[in-house]
A and B are shown apart, each in its own frame.
Chain A
Amino acid sequence: MTRTATDTSAERTVHLRKTTEPGAGRTRLAGTLLVLTALLLVSATAGLAIGSVQVPPGQVWGIVTHALGADGQEPGWSRARETIVVDVRAPRVLLGAVTGAGLAVIGTALQALVRNPLAEPYLLGVSSGASLGAVAVIVFGVTLFGPVSLSVAAFVGALGALLLVYATARTGGRITSARLVLSGVAIAAMLTAVLHLLLLTTDRGNEARAVLAWTLGGLGGVNWGTLWLPSTALLLGIGVLMVQARNLNLLLAGEEAASTMGLDVARFRARLFVLLSLVTGVLVAAAGPIGFVGLMMPHIVRLFVGGDHRRVLPTAALGGAVFLIWADIAARTIAAPMEIPVGVLTALCGGPFFLWLMRRDARRGTDRGVA
C-alpha cells in the first residue's frame, strides 16, 4: 500500500481500512496460540524426558504413542522406563499444565473483576483460604463428601477468603491497589496462622509434616486416579470465562459504564467469584497454593495480544501451562535428588515481577496525574 507522508486523507483511508477488517487481530492471535501450543508440546516432552532417569525425547514419544495404543510395535525400552514416563511423570506434567493454565485464567479474571492489575489468588489470600479449608478437613478427618471432601472444603475456604478481602478492600465503590494488597496480605497471614495452629496442635503428628510440605505448593504425589477433578475444574473455568469474555471486557470500562452497556455487575461478579473460588479450591487441593502464576501470565500475554479477554484467556492458559511445567522441571532437578516445592520457585520469579508491576503502575499513575 502506497502512502505519502503529506497526504492526510490517504492516511485516514488507510486507518479506516484497518478498522473495517474484523480479523486484524485474529491472525496475530492465531500465530501466538500456534507458537504456544508448539511450546507446550516441547515442554511436555521435556517434562517427561528430564529427571533422575533421563529418557531421550524420541523414546518419550515412542512410549507415549505406545501407551495410547497407537502402534502395535514391540517396545524397544525397559518396563521401568515406561512406568517412569507413563505412571510417574505423565500425571505430574499434566497436573502442572492444568494448574498453570488454571491459575493463569483465574488471575486474568480476578484482575478484571476487582479492576486491579495486582489481583491474583495467592496474593489476595484466596489460596490461603483454600489451604485452610483443605487442612481443616485433614486434621478433623471430615469425609462428608467422600474423596472430593478436600476440594469442597478448599472451595469453601477460597470463597470465604475472597469475599472477606473484597469486602474489606472496597470502600465507596472503589478498590485501590494499596488497600487490596494490604487486606489480601493481612487475611492471608491470619488464615495461614490458623492453618499452622491446626497443624501444630493436631495429634496426627506424622501427617502434619506431609501437609506442611503440601502448603508450599508442589505437583508430586499425583496419579492418574486423581487427575480428573482438577482437569474438569479447569475446563469448566475456561469454558465459562470464554463465554463471558465480552462481559469481562466491559468491567475494564468501570462499573457504571459496564452497567450502561448491559451488564448486571453485582450478579456477574457474585457468580464469577463462586466459579473462581471453585477452580482455585480444586487446584489448591491438588497442587497446594502456588503463587504468582496468576499474576505474571496475564500481564505477559497482554504485551503480545492486548487486553481483550477473548484473546488474553486462551493465551494466558497456554502460557501458564508452559510456565508451570518448566517450573516443575526446575523444582525436580535443581537440587536433585532433593525436590524443591514448585511454589517456592514461582514466588522467586513472581515476587520481583510483582514489585516491577507495582512501580510501573505507580509511574503511569503519576504520569497521568492521578494519585
Chain B
Amino acid sequence: MTATELSVDGVTLTAGARHLVRDVSLTARPGETIGLVGPNGSGKSSLLRAVYRVLRPDTGQVRVDGGDAWSLPVRQLARTVAAVVQESAADFDLAVREVVAMGRTPHKRLLAGDTPEDAELISSALLAVDAVHLADRPFDRLSGGERQRVLIARALAQQPTLLVLDEPTNHLDIRHQLSVLGTLRRLPATVLLALHDLNLAAYYCDRLYVLHDGEVTASGPPAEILTPRLLAEVYGVAAEVAIHPRTGAPQVTFLPEEPRG
C-alpha cells in the first residue's frame, strides 16, 4: 500500500477551558494533497498535532485507513504516518545524514544496523529536497531553510503513506518552496499540510480546508472555495481572485486598505 486514507471525524481539541479546534471533520483520500489554511491561531497546528498523535482529541476520532490512530502502538503508527513539526531541535552535533537516518527508526529492530537499503533511502530523500550536498554538514550549522529541507527529508526517509507537515515552506526561499511542494505533490503518499501562502496552497493542493476560530468554514477544490467573500470573512482583508491564465490555478491578489504612496 502506498497511500493511506485519513479521516478526522468531529474532533474537538481543548487546552484548559479554551477550544483550539471545535467539531472538525476532514477526509483525505489515498494520494490526495490536502491543504489546511487559515489565519494565525485558527487551529491548523492543533489539528495536525491530533493527526500525528501528540494532542489527544477530547471528542471525535482520527482514523488512519479506518483504524483509530490513537489506539495503535506509537511505533506502528510511525510506519504509516510521518510528520514535519514546528519544534526546534537540540544542540548535539548530529550530521545531516544522521538526522535523516532517524526517519528509519520505526522500521528498525533494536540493535539492527543501517543497511545499504537504508543508505539508499536516505540518499534519495536528501536528493528529493535538494540537500545531497549537505549530507556531511553538522545539522546545527545549517540555515533555517536548509534545516527545514533536511527535516522534510527525514520524514521522506520514514517512507510514510500519510505525510503531515506544519508550514513546510517556512524559511524556504522561493525556488525551494516550489520544488519542495512539487516533490510532496508528486509523492504517492497522502499529504496533509498547513500553509500560510494561499497562492501556493491553491496551486499545489487538490482540496483545501479553511479553518477559522477552530472551525472549518469552507472546504473543497481551491477554485471553488477561494472567493473574495471568504477571504474577507476569514482573514478580514479585501482581495481579488482570478484564475491565472498560465497556471490555471486561482490567484489571490490582496488589496490593502491604504493606497500606495
The answer to whether A and B belong to the same complex is yes
Q: Is B194 an interface residue (CB 8 A)?
A: no
Q: A259-B53, A261-B103, A262-B77 are in contact. Are A116 and B90 (CB under 8 A)?
A: yes
On whether the beta carbons of A306 and B79 are closer than 8 Å, the reply is no
A12 touches B133 (CB 8 A): yes
Q: Does A2 count as interface, using CB distance less than 8 angstroms?
A: no
Question: In A247-264, which residues have CB < 8 Å from any B CB?
Answer: 247, 249-257, 259-264
Complex contacts, A256 vs chain B, CB 8 Å: 49, 52, 54, 83, 85, 87
Q: A246-B108, A260-B81, A261-B105 are in contact. Are A364 and B135 (CB under 8 A)?
A: no
Residues of chain B contacted by A260 (CB below 8 angstroms): 52-54, 78, 81-83, 85
Min CB–CB distance A257 → chain B (angstroms): 5
Q: Mostly helix, strand, loop or mixed at chain A's interface?
A: helix
In the complex, what residue of chain A is closest to B82 when comparing beta carbons?
A260
Q: Which residues of B lie under 8 Å from residue A263 when comparing CB positions? A: 74-75, 105
What total of chain A residues lie within 8 Å of the partner, measured CB to CB?
Answer: 42
CB of B105 within 8 A of CB of A250, answer: yes
When distances are taken between beta carbons in the complex, the residues of chain A under 8 Å from B105 are 246-247, 249-250, 261-263
Question: In this assembly, does B249 line the interface, its C-beta being within 8 Å of a C-beta of chain A?
Answer: no
User: Per a CB cutoff under 8 Å, which of B83, B111, B135 touches A19?
Assistant: B135
B88 & A262 in contact (Cβ 8 Å cutoff) = no
* Residues of A close to B111: CB separation below 8 A: 242-243
Give the shortest distance, in Å, between B84 (CB) and chain A (any CB): 8
Asked if residues A253 and B140 are in contact (CB atoms below 8 Å), the reply is no
State whether A21 and B92 are in contact (beta carbons under 8 Å apart), knowing that A259-B53, A261-B78 are contacts in the complex. Answer: no
**Chain B: minimal CB distance from A300 (Å):** 12
- Supposing A16-B123, A262-B78, A262-B79 touch, asked if A254 and B106 sit within 8 A by C-beta, the answer is no
The count of residues in chain B whose C-beta lies closer than 8 Å to any C-beta of chain A is 52
A327 CA / B48 CA spacing, docked (Å): 52
The distance from the CB of B2 to the nearest CB of chain A, in whole angstroms, is 19
A302: interface (CB < 8 Å)? yes
User: CB-CB < 8 A to A302: which residues of B?
Assistant: 92-93
Q: Determine the residue in chain B with the shortest Cβ distance to A302.
A: B93
Contact residue among A20, A111, A259, A261 (Cβ-Cβ distance under 8 Å from B54): A259
Q: Is the CB of A249 within 8 A of B52?
A: no
**Chain A CB within 10 Å, residue with most, of B92, B114, B126:** B92
Q: Tell me if A307 counts as interface (CB < 8 A to partner B).
A: yes
Mark interface residues in A257-296 (1 if CB within 8 Å of B CB, else 0): 1011111100000000000000000000000000000000
Q: What would be 10 A-B contacts, judged by CB atoms less than 8 Å apart?
A: A12-B132, A20-B123, A112-B92, A246-B110, A256-B83, A257-B87, A260-B81, A260-B82, A261-B105, A264-B74
List the 3 shortest-distance A-B pairs measured between CB atoms, nearest first.
A262-B78, A262-B106, A262-B75
Question: Chain A residues in contact with chain B, CB under 8 A?
Answer: 11-12, 15-16, 18-22, 111-112, 115-117, 242-244, 246-247, 249-257, 259-264, 302-303, 306-308, 361, 364, 370
